Structure 1
Amino acid sequence: MPGTMRFQGLFMVAIWILLLCPQGSPTSFGHPLPVPLQENYSPPSGSNTPVVIKDKPSLSAPTKSSQEDVDYYDDYLFTVDPLETSRSPQPPSPHCDYHLCRHLQVPCAELQKASGCMCPGITSPGEAPETPHLQTLHVSEAGISLHWCAPPSPVEQYHVTYQAVGEASASSPALNSTFRLATVSGLLPDKQYLVCVVASNRAGRSPTDDGQREHGPCRLVHTPPRQIPYVYVAAGLAGALVLVVISALVWHFCMRRRKHLLHGSRDNILDVEPGLGGTTNSTFRSEEQL
């Protein structure tokens, strides 16, 4: 009986100690972990539970503690975003190798399609071309050679027109847009002409002027008078030289023959008849014998 009372007293003391001790962690009794609070979780009204806000992960790279970590983070830090690469500024396209004054120049539109270069600005295809610019002219008695620069406009064809003062205008055959040189033949010598270069497209033709501007589309020229061909001049000089040579030879032979008659031999002088070669000297033989 006394042992039973002692055991009950110890049991009651143990229960009283458990009731007085603070409640342990749920994990100590094998309960599952509580579900993490959401980022925007708000506690119920009237609760004293503190608000827990989940921190966002830091963007700074963690400390590199091993060679594996170094290799990994090196790859991570130097990864290039394709979108960032596409947004980087690109160098400007180069200008096309196109010159307005170059003969047989390939159109700039074809150069741009081939290499993606930049062409100079031009006027609208729906407008007539601006005037070409005459650069140099070479004039002969029967023709003219011209060199011009293209206008900053779409051009399909060029024409060279020429008109003598007081006569009707004439035009050369059509030249394609790559031409910058042309020759006009069949002109008359010692005559004044107004020569113009005209550009054309579907919208119309470029205007002309009176030929007074320095680099305009037209120019007043004067063909030189007819000249004696160099062949005729050379033939005349050669004939004159031949006549001089023949005259010198004839004069030389005549002078030689005259000297031969005047300075003959001794026998000819002694036997010559009186009146033709002079009188004979009667004392010449006697002096010779002495």
Structure 2
Amino acid sequence: MSLCTTIVGLLLFLIVSPLLHSQLYIHAASTSSPITRHRIIFMTSLDSDDDYGDDYRDEDKPTTDIVSAKRITVVHTQPCKYNPCLENQEPCNKLAQQTGCLCPGFSGADVPPLPPRLQTLLPVSHGENRGKIEVKWCAPPSFVSHYRVTMEGNNGDALQFKSALRQGFIGSLEVGTRVCVEAVNGAGNSAFSEVSCQRYDPPNSSEHNLLGWILGGGVVLLLLIVVTSVILWKKKGCGRAKRDSTDGLGNPSYSTEGTL
């Protein structure tokens, strides 16, 4: 009886084991985690500051992420190679657009320009402009379409010069005449100021004044020497006369009673 039971148990085990194996396989397949593809990282810059820990924040996401590098803005701190007192230069605002350099507070065409700086007023002694006055100025940090030079007592007439120029020639002037330089654009004119106006004072007049002062000082010094010499001479003469009179009264051979 036990032998039959054993044989029946073996037969049941052989029949049930393939079904059990298939059920276990199906259950394992349904409970297994999905296949996750590896993430591909595209680097566009070596100096990116992205945290790589964020790339693995969601491991179940099967999509491909692209890590974008941060844009680095290069800030130029060098001033533009621009001298406002030299002629025929590229405007500073154009140099800034071309090279990214810095202009010192450059204002645009919609704002009246700042006053230019008048450098010198010098008479010309040779060349084709002999007898005229040379005017030199420096450009302001503003957009300028042209310059105007005005002279005091010239009934408002002004001479115009191109924006690239930094000097001009005007007619002869009297000493002390006020000369001003204006910067002009579409928004208006620059205001007159101490830096844009000067009084004409040629070097010759200054030299003549210096020579006059030197000659006057020499004459005064000579007069002082003469007066001092006269005073000393008179004082010395008075002292000698007094000494002679004292010597005469002290002579023992002289007496009011007669000769001894």
Pairwise TM-score range, normalised by the shorter structure: 0.5 to 0.7
Report whether the alignment pairs 1:153 with 2:142: yes
Counterpart Cα distance in 1 of 2:19 and 2:118: 101
Shift of 1:88: 4.7
Aligned in 2, Cα 1:24/1:86: closer, same or farther, shift over 3 Å? same
State the TM-score, normalized to the length of structure 2: 0.52
- Counterpart in 2 of 1:222? 201
Provide Cα deviations, 1:84-142, integer angstroms capped at 9, x if missing partner.
47515343235432222222221123323433444332234322111111223323583
- Counterpart in 2 of 1:168? 155
Counterpart Cα distance in 1 of 2:18 and 2:138: 96
Amino acid at match of 1:147: K
Aligned in 2, Cα 1:33/1:176: closer, same or farther, shift over 3 Å? farther
Report whether the alignment pairs 1:192 with 2:173: no
Aligned in 2, Cα 1:18/1:146: closer, same or farther, shift over 3 Å? farther
Shift of 1:177: 1.7
Q: Give the aligned CA root-mean-square deviation in angstroms.
A: 4.0
| Preserved contact between residue 92 and residue 103 of structure 2 (Cα < 8 Å) | yes
Report whether the alignment pairs 1:100 with 2:84: yes
Aligned in 2, Cα 1:163/1:25: closer, same or farther, shift over 3 Å? farther
Amino acid at match of 2:8: I
Counterpart Cα distance in 2 of 1:139 and 1:25: 121
Aligned in 2, Cα 1:135/1:11: closer, same or farther, shift over 3 Å? farther
Amino acid at match of 1:92: V
Aligned in 2, Cα 1:55/1:150: closer, same or farther, shift over 3 Å? same
Shift of 1:155: 0.9
Instruction: Look up the SS of the partner of 2:8 in the other structure.
Output: helix
Aligned in 2, Cα 1:222/1:168: closer, same or farther, shift over 3 Å? farther
Shift of 1:19: 6.1
Aligned in 2, Cα 1:82/1:25: closer, same or farther, shift over 3 Å? farther
Provide Cα deviations, 1:18-73, integer angstroms capped at 9, x if missing partner.
7689x86868459854434487xxxxxxxxxxxxxx898999xxxxxxxxxxxxxx
Task: Indicate the percent of aligned positions where both proteins have the same amino acid.
Answer: 26
Mean CA deviation greater in 82-91 or 195-204: 82-91
Aligned in 2, Cα 1:152/1:113: closer, same or farther, shift over 3 Å? closer
Report whether the alignment pairs 1:81 with 2:81: no
Shift of 1:158: 0.6
Counterpart Cα distance in 1 of 2:93 and 2:70: 28
Aligned in 2, Cα 1:110/1:29: closer, same or farther, shift over 3 Å? closer
Counterpart Cα distance in 2 of 1:88 and 1:18: 75
- Counterpart in 1 of 2:117? 133
Unaligned runs of 5+ in 1: 1-5, 40-53, 60-75, 226-290
Aligned in 2, Cα 1:29/1:36: closer, same or farther, shift over 3 Å? closer
| Preserved contact between residue 27 and residue 33 of structure 1 (Cα < 8 Å) | no
Amino acid at match of 1:150: A
State the TM-score, normalized to the length of structure 1: 0.48
Instruction: Look up the SS of the partner of 1:106 in the other structure.
Output: coil
Counterpart Cα distance in 1 of 2:23 and 2:122: 111
- Counterpart in 2 of 1:251? none
- Count of residue pairs the alignment pairs up: 175
Instruction: Look up the SS of the partner of 1:130 in the other structure.
Output: coil
